[in-house]
Amino acid sequence: MNFTVVPTSNYLILAAALFCVGMLGVLVRRNALVVFMCIELMLNAANLTFLAFARERGDMVGHLGPFFIIAVAAAEAAVGLAIVISVFRNRGTVNIEEIQSMKH
């Protein structure tokens, strides 16, 4: 049997583009919630890379990585959003420009 598929390198380029969109968002956006969403984008780019190599090698252990990343992303979102709520309660803003007491 022979399967013709889209080459793995196309999936990797898509993952690279997705990671860079997320990285751009983390670096330029001011809203802490949007920065969190961009971190989720970067995690998904990592998932896509794992799955692309899993199919390339025919090894299903590559599906465990995305599974654990999804679980860790859920934990990260819960704690991160709790921190955002806490900061908003104390400062009245989620603008990361104005939250800089840990600078210097």
Partner 1 sequence: MNAEQVLFWVFSVGTIVSAGAVIFLRNPVASAMSLVACFFFLAGIYVLLWAHTIAVLQVLVYAGAIMVLFLFVIMLLSLTDTGPIAQLSPSRIAGAVATAALLAALVAVFRKLPAADTVTWASDAGRVATFGTIKQLGAIMYTQWLFPFEAVSLLLLVAIVGAVVVAKSRI
Site residues for partner 1, 35-94, by CB under 8 A, read: 36-38, 40-41, 44, 47-48, 51-52, 54-58, 60-61, 63-64, 66-68, 70-79, 81-86, 88-89, 94
Measured in degrees and rounded to the nearest 5, phi and psi for residue 96 equal -70, -15
Q: Would you count residue 4 as binding partner 1 (CB under 8 A)?
A: yes
Q: Is 16 in the site for partner 1 (CB under 8 A)?
A: yes
Candidate list 97, 100, 101, 104; residue touching partner 1; CB under 8 A: 97
Closest distance to partner 1 from the beta carbon of 61 (Å): 6
Examine residue 99 and tell whether it contacts partner 1 (CB under 8 A).
no
Q: Reduced to 3 states, what is the DSSP secondary structure of residue 95?
A: strand
Rounded to whole angstroms, what are the CA distances from 70 to 41, 45, 84, 90, 91? 12, 12, 20, 30, 31
- Longest CA–CA span in the chain (Å) reads 62
Nearest distance in Å: CB 91, partner 1:
12
- Three-state DSSP at 72 gives helix
Binding-residue total with partner 1 (CB under 8 A): 73
96 part of the interface to partner 1, by CB under 8 A: no
Both tokens of 71, joined, read: 């679980």
